[in-house]
């Protein structure tokens, strides 16, 4: 019987086509992932991957075993879920910091499974900006929360320390009012920064992502209005006030339905993460939340890998 961590490494490398990207996903070092693959292939006496300049691809044997490994991981997740459901005596309150919209962070699926596993846990939701959620987790006002940052960066170092788990990657696009196509044509960041912007407070991921791009260039966005809610920001863009950032799905929907303009060739990568105090991970309520989170996002990844149609 294969170690569950070895199977996770095999599936992650198969999905990513790269040991380095799989290591980032699993929060392991590249040598650790390579060792797990070597152990698996030696145990099975099979070659599961072929190397090529772009990364790794599955051999026919690897392609045969991949769906079996995915089913094994799903079965283990279901087993853990069933086992946790037996702990009906688990009680407590879980204060959760939420961001953006519930559908994007899969809040409904997360809460549903958490209630199924531990019906005695009381949940308390508090909505805010990403940086504000981080501050409140550090201050002990929240137990866990969702957080947005550049991929691989996680929360900035601080005391007390905060652990994080990246759930998915996506992109922000620069969106502009209808009719601004000529102003955005072939525009680079220097051109974009000079145009009017709807800016956000420093706690917002928009502010942090823009700063990460513009600060090294010695640029500052030409802010003409500041808002702290995504809906207000898009309203101002529609009204012709200025530019803003918008997530993949929102940007495409706004272009199709409202005629907003998207700056071509300009995308800002971002990661959605789940955060919690590093010294409290073993607490029963937080541990239950983390296990529930894994089962929800593992299921999403399996569906997305099978159908290759899930985009976040």
pLDDT of 60 higher than 90: yes
What value does the mean pLDDT take over residues 288-307?
69
241 Cβ partners below 8 Å, 6+ apart?
177, 196, 198, 224, 225
E strands, the chain, in order? 49-52, 55-58, 92-98, 121-127, 144-149, 162-176, 196-199, 222-226, 244-247, 261-277
Q: What confidence category does residue 2 fall into, taking pLDDT thresholds of 50, 70 and 90?
A: low
- Give the distance from CA 119 to its chain's centroid: 27
49 Cβ partners below 8 Å, 6+ apart?
13, 14, 37, 56, 57, 58, 59, 62
For residue 230, which of 140, 156, 127 has the smallest C-alpha distance?
127
Q: What is the mean pLDDT of the chain?
A: 88
Output the pLDDT for position 306: 34
Output the pLDDT for position 86: 65
Distance set, CA 206 to CA 10, 88, 158, 171, 200 (Å): 35, 41, 21, 11, 7
What value does the mean pLDDT take over residues 219-227?
94
Q: What is the pLDDT of residues 191-209, one digit of tens each?
A: 999 999 999 998 899 999 9
Q: What is the pLDDT of residues 251-275, one digit of tens each?
A: 999 999 999 999 998 999 999 999 9
The residue among 252 and 25 whose pLDDT is bigger is: 252
Output the pLDDT for position 59: 92
Rounded Cα distance, 150 and 170, in Å: 10
pLDDT of 78 higher than 90: no
* Beta-carbon-side half-sphere exposure of residue 225 (alpha carbons within 13 Å): 16
pLDDT of 234 higher than 50: yes
């Amino acid at each position: 019987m294969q170690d569950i961590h070895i199977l996770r490494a095999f599936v992650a490398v198969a999905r990513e086509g790269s040991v380095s990207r799989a290591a980032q996903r699993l929060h392991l070092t590249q040598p650790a992932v390579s060792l797990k693959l070597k152990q698996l292939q030696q145990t099975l006496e099979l070659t599961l991957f072929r190397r090529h300049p772009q990364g790794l691809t599955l051999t026919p044997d690897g392609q045969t075993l991949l769906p079996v490994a995915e089913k094994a991981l799903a079965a283990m997740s279901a087993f853990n879920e069933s086992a946790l459901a037996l702990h009906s005596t688990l009680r407590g309150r879980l204060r959760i910091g939420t961001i953006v919209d519930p559908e994007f962070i899969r809040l409904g699926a997360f809460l549903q499974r958490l209630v199924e596993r531990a019906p005695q846990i009381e949940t308390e939701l508090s909505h805010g900006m990403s940086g504000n959620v981080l501050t409140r987790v550090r201050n002990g006002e929240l137990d866990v929360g969702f957080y947005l940052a550049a991929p691989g960066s996680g929360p900035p170092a601080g005391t007390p320390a905060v652990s994080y788990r990246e759930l998915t990657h996506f992109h922000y696009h620069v969106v502009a009012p209808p009719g601004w196509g000529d102003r955005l044509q072939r525009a680079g960041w220097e051109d974009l920064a000079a145009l009017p912007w709807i800016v956000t407070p420093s706690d917002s991921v928009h502010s942090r992502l823009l700063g990460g791009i513009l600060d090294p260039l010695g640029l500052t966005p030409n802010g003409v209005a500041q808002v702290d809610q995504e809906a207000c920001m898009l309203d101002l863009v529609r009204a012709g006030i200025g530019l803003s950032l918008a997530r993949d799905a929102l940007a495409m929907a706004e272009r199709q339905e409202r005629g907003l303009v998207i700056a071509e060739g300009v995308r800002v990568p971002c990661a959605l993460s789940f955060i919690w105090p590093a010294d409290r991970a073993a607490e029963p309520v937080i541990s239950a939340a983390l296990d529930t989170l894994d089962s929800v996002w593992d299921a999403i990844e399996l569906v997305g890998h099978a159908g290759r149609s899930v985009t976040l």
